[in-house]
Amino acid sequence: MSDDNREDPNAWAPATRLIRGGMARSNYGEISEPIFLTQSFAYDSAEAADRRFSGEEPGFIYARYGNPTVKMFEDRLALLEGAQACRAAASGMAAIHTALVGLLKAGDHLVASRALFGSCRWIIGQLLPRFGVETTFVDGTDLDAWRAAMRPNTRVCFLESPANPLLEIVDVAAVAQIAHAGGARLVVDNAFASPILQKPLTLGADIVIYSATKHIDGQGRVLGGAILGDEALLEESYKDLIRHTGPALSPFSAWVLLKGMETLELRVMRQSETAARLADLAAGHANVRKVLYPGRADHPQHALAMRQMSAGGTILAFDLGARGAAFRFLNALQIVDISNNLADAKSMAVHPSTTTHRSTPEPERLAIGLTEGFVRLSAGLEAYEDLARDVTRALDEAGRDG
Ligand SMILES: *Cc1c(COP(=O)(O)O)cnc(C)c1O
C-alpha cells in the first residue's frame, strides 16, 4: 500500500486511537508496544552525533529528553486528545509544575479557581509566590470573579473541572474567552473528566494536563503525567525546561500507561455508568444529606456539565452530616477500599477533609463547601450489584449512633 492510501489516524474513533495510536514497531514486528529501557542512544559516527545534537537529524539523544516508548505514549495521548503535541511527565504534579513554571516569570500574575487538588493549590498558593509570581484564587463558578481578577500582567488562568473533591464544574469555554481577552493562556487539569469525557482544547483551553496515574493507568500501578497543546507553544515553553529539570516519565511506566489506554474508553464508560447508579442510590438513602454528581439534575452546574462533558464521570461525593458518620460509613465498607487514589478499577472512598484536602486551610475548605461530613467515592469496575450492597450497608451503618 502506498503512503497516500494509508488511513489517517485522525479519522479514527477514540477506541481505535487508544489501541492503534502512536504504535512504532521495531524490526521484530512485535504486537505489544516494545519497552525501550535505555537511558541513552549510540550514534553511527561522531558526525551523526553532531547532527543529532544540532537538531539537523531527528532521533533520540538521552531519556531525559525523550525515549521511544515514552514517545509512543505521547503520540497516542495526543491523538486521543486531538492535540498537536504531548510531553510526558513522571507524575501529574510534575506535569502541572512544569506547565505553570514554563509559562510564568517573576512579575506575572495567575488566576486560579479555588476548588483544586491540594498539591495544585500548594504550587499556586505557596510555591509560585516565592518566585515573584502573584496569584489570585476565585470562585471558579463565578465568571464575574474571573473577570474582576484579571490584571494587565495576568499570563495564566488555571482550573480543574470537575474539581476535586466536590465535583464543581467550571465553564471552560467562558474562562478561555476571559483569559484570551486579557492576553492570558488557559491551563486545564482534566484528570477528573479524563480525555474520554471532556476535550478542553476544543472548548478553547491552550494547555491540557493529565495525571495519567488516574484514569489512564486506572489500575493502580504507576505514576504518570502529560502536558498537551499546540506544538509551537509546547516547544517554546517546555523544551528547555523539560530537558534541564528532568520531570521525565520512565519508559517502563510509559509502557504500563500504553496498556492502560487500550481499555481506557471501556473503563471510563462503565465506571461512569456505575457512578451514576451509585449517586442515585445514595440520593435515595435516608442518611445522605446531599449528593454531588455532575450527571444528576440536582448538581448545581448540571446543565453546564452536560454541555461540556459527554457523561457525568466516574466520581461522586456525598454528605453524611458529620465526621463520625463519614468515618462509620468508611469503616463499614467491605468491598470498596478506603484510599485517596481515584479512577481505579477498584472502587475507593475517602474522607477528603482529613486526607486529600488536609493541607487546605479550614476556611478555604468551607468556602468550597467541603464540610466534615463529605465522602468522595470513585466507582470502579466491580459488579454494580456488589457495590450497591456494600454502599447501602455502609450508609445504613453511618446512621448508627457513634
Ligand atoms: C491526582 C491528581 C493530580 C496529581 O497527580 P499525580 O499523578 O498524583 O501527581 C493532579 N490533579 C488532580 C485533579 C488529581 O486528581
Ligand 1, atom 4, residue with closest C-alpha: 92
Which of 117, 166, 221 most suits a substitution to test ligand 1, by most atoms within 8 Å of the C-beta? 117
Q: What are the CA-CA distances from residue 273 to residues 199, 208, 278, 318 (Å)? A: 19, 25, 9, 17
Q: What is the spatial distance between Cα 193 and Cα 206, in angstroms, rounded to a whole number?
A: 17
How many whole angstroms from 46 Cα to the centroid of ligand 1?
42
Q: What is the spatial distance between Cα 215 and Cα 343, in angstroms, rounded to a whole number?
A: 5
Decide: 228 and 81 in contact? Cβ < 8 Å: yes
Residue 305 and residue 157 share a domain: no
**For residue 401, what pLDDT is reported?**
74
Task: Report how far apart the first and last C-alpha atoms of the chain are (Å, whole number).
Answer: 71
How many whole angstroms from 117 Cα to the centroid of ligand 1?
7
Residue from 115, 119, 70, 112 nearest 93 by CA: 119
Which residues, in sequence order, are CB contacts of 329 under 8 Å at separation 6+?
320, 349, 375, 394, 395, 397, 398
Average pLDDT along the chain: 96
pLDDT per position as a tens digit, 96-139: 999 999 999 999 999 999 998 889 999 999 999 999 999 999 99
**Residue finishing a domain among 211, 232, 261:** 261
Domain residues for the domain of 367 are: 265-398
Task: Look up the pTM and report it.
Answer: 0.96
Longest dimension (CA), the chain: 77
Residue 331 and residue 212 share a domain: no
Q: What percent of the chain has pLDDT over 70?
A: 99
Residue 226 and residue 305 share a domain: no
Provide the CATH number for the domain around residue 112: 3.40.640.10
Which of 114, 121, 122, 164 most suits a substitution to test ligand 1, by most atoms within 8 Å of the C-beta? 164
pLDDT per position as a tens digit, 273-287: 999 999 999 999 999
Q: What is the spatial distance between Cα 392 and Cα 383, in angstroms, rounded to a whole number?
A: 14
- How remote is the C-alpha of 254 from its chain's centroid? 16
**Residue finishing a domain among 261, 294, 311:** 261
**For residue 359, what pLDDT is reported?**
82
Provide the CATH number for the domain around residue 355: 3.90.1150.10
Structural domains in the chain (count): 2
How many whole angstroms from 8 Cα to the centroid of ligand 1?
32
Average pLDDT over residues 172-184: 98
Residue 234 and residue 194 share a domain: yes
Residue 196 and residue 293 share a domain: no
CA atoms within 13 A on the CB side of 90: 11
How many whole angstroms from 150 Cα to the centroid of ligand 1?
26
pLDDT per position as a tens digit, 289-304: 999 999 999 999 999 9
Decide: 158 and 111 in contact? Cβ < 8 Å: yes
Residue 298 and residue 236 share a domain: no
Residue 253 and residue 124 share a domain: yes
List b or e across 51-62, with b for residues whose CB sees 16 or more CB atoms inside 10 angstroms.
ebeeeeeeebee
User: Strand 225-229 and strand 337-338: pairing?
Assistant: unpaired
pLDDT > 70? residue 232: yes
**Residue finishing a domain among 211, 242, 261:** 261
Across 49-108, the runs of DSSP E, i.e. the strands, are: 85-89
Does ligand 1 have an atom closer than 6 angstroms to the CB of 223?
yes
Residue 389 and residue 249 share a domain: no
Residue 230 and residue 291 share a domain: no
Decide: 195 and 80 in contact? Cβ < 8 Å: yes
> Which cell is 27 given?
524490526
Q: How confident is the model at residue 344 (pLDDT cuts 50, 70, 90)?
A: very high
Residue 323 and residue 216 share a domain: no
pLDDT per position as a tens digit, 296-340: 999 999 999 999 999 999 999 999 999 999 999 999 999 999 999
pLDDT > 90? residue 89: yes
Ligand 1, atom 15, residue with closest C-alpha: 191
Residue 278 and residue 255 share a domain: no
Average pLDDT over residues 224-246: 97
Residue 272 and residue 222 share a domain: no
Decide: 252 and 70 in contact? Cβ < 8 Å: no
**For residue 4, what pLDDT is reported?**
72
CA atoms within 13 A on the CB side of 246: 3
> Which cell is 41 given?
542512544
Does ligand 1 have an atom closer than 6 angstroms to the CB of 225?
yes
How many whole angstroms from 214 Cα to the centroid of ligand 1?
7
